[in-house]
Amino acid sequence: MQSRTQVAIIGAGPAGLLLSQLLHVGGIDCVVLERQTQSHVEARIRAGVLEPGTVELLERAGVATRLQREGLPHHGFHLMLDGRPFRIDMHALTGGRSVTVYGQTEVTHDLIAAHQARGAELIFSAADVRLHAVESDAPFVTFSHDGMQRRIDCDYIVGCDGYHGVSRPSIPASVLRSFERVYPFGWLGLLADVPPCDEELIYSNHARGFALASMRSHTRSRYYVQVPLSEKLEDWPDDRIWDELALRLGPEVAPRMTRGPSIEKSIAPLRSFVAEPMRYGRLFLAGDAAHIVPPTGAKGLNLAASDVGILAEAFIDAYRGGSLAGLETYSSRALARVWMAERFSWWFTGLTHRFPDMDEFARHMQVAELNYIRASSHAQTVVAENYVGLPLSYSCSS
């Protein structure tokens, strides 16, 4: 079976779904191919902090009604050193900008609902997706679905298929360059239907290791503790995680923590990764397909959104006005912003985590830097403007 579209999108994560929705608003026809089932995609628990730029894109895509109703605006967050917290007042330090706490699961749910409401071609359980002729003017994708072989001819292919997808490997090794830092620890995450211990997020640097107190709503908490990569989930019953959190969040916060049974637990490794270029011929990469950040700065989902924001405008310019300039400069513009977020996520991870090879000098450097941020409004402004998200104007060519 053979069909045709303007843009074929691989992957129905936030990048693929948001791009498809933005293209639809711009009058561009596209098809989204997803390897997993709809229920699998909708059940994934991941990020939860949206930058204002991401919220604007979701509004532009027409999928922000529930987000506006249920999202929690956060004007600040707390940094903590060995149990002593101090607040970064993002709102005051960035001229009124704030982040919104709204789970990636909810964003995905809203985007899928919008697709299905308009009868869009969003194909789940698409097996063996392959990209063809991406360097030519007539690219196409093949896959099997419901026992049938299918082929979709298109003008462009966008790989939004995450770190383990098939799109990035479709760029020849002689062209693709990658840059990577793997961290010697992971995050053990616990999701529980209990009220959060604070109205804002708390990032704690503690001698026992990093901890984060986060949330998805007023009744759902998300907590993380740094663990060695050798740790096994089965060795962490809920009580052990709650006990460890109480130690790392310290005597001021621990009594406010409501314990409860986990509804999800996982250990995620931490990695910084960038692949260049993000365009090869008629193939474009967006989101985790091209880059990964450690979750410390809450940038993964937001970077995926800013990539597709840049790319959607470029496609709209190309189809409406005939200008290919946006598509031709997409890679360098997206990468300029990606590297800024990589820098912040790497720096914030280094500031807040215990590294296995850390000596006394390195620990004193962390302590001095956190004390400097505590004391200096200039230093706090640097943290705040990165956390809330750098404007798209930072996506200038490098």
Ligand X SMILES: Cc1cc2nc3c(=O)[nH]c(=O)nc-3n(C[C@H](O)[C@H](O)[C@H](O)COP(=O)(O)OP(=O)(O)OC[C@H]3O[C@@H](n4cnc5c(N)ncnc54)[C@H](O)[C@@H]3O)c2cc1C
| Distance between CA atoms of residues 5 and 244, nearest Å | 52
Of 4-12, 66-74, 235-243, 330-338, the segment contacting ligand X by CB under 6 A is: 4-12
Binder of ligand X out of 298, 335, 370, 384 (CB under 6 A): 298
Of 94-102, 162-170, 324-332, 366-374, the segment contacting ligand X by CB under 6 A is: 162-170
Of residues 12 through 31, those in contact with ligand X by CB under 6 A are 12-16
CB of 164 to ligand X, least distance (A): 6
Of 83-91, 149-157, 293-301, 321-329, the segment contacting ligand X by CB under 6 A is: 293-301
Q: Which residues contact 111 (CB under 8 A, 6 or more apart)?
A: 14, 17, 18, 21, 61, 63
CB of 359 to ligand X, least distance (A): 30
CB nearer to ligand X: give 126 or 384. Answer: 126
Binder of ligand X out of 103, 165, 186, 196 (CB under 6 A): 165
Binder of ligand X out of 8, 9, 10, 67 (CB under 6 A): 10
CB of 154 to ligand X, least distance (A): 15
Of residues 214 through 273, those in contact with ligand X by CB under 6 A are 266, 268
**Using rule CB under 6 A, residue 283 touches ligand X:** no
CB nearer to ligand X: give 44 or 177. Answer: 44
**Using rule CB under 6 A, residue 213 touches ligand X:** no
CB nearer to ligand X: give 46 or 343. Answer: 46
CB nearer to ligand X: give 33 or 215. Answer: 33
Q: Which residues are catalytic?
A: 74, 203, 295, 299, 387
CB nearer to ligand X: give 13 or 139. Answer: 13
**Using rule CB under 6 A, residue 35 touches ligand X:** yes
Of residues 332 through 361, those in contact with ligand X by CB under 6 A are none
**Using rule CB under 6 A, residue 160 touches ligand X:** yes
Tell me how many residues contact ligand X (CB under 6 A).
32
CB of 33 to ligand X, least distance (A): 5
Cα–Cα nearest to 249, from 111, 132, 78, 128: 78
Cα–Cα nearest to 115, from 191, 9, 242, 267: 9
**Using rule CB under 6 A, residue 287 touches ligand X:** yes
Q: By the criterion CB under 6 A, which residues form the site for ligand X?
A: 10-16, 33-36, 41, 46-47, 104, 126, 129, 160-162, 165-166, 266, 268, 287-288, 295, 298-301, 304
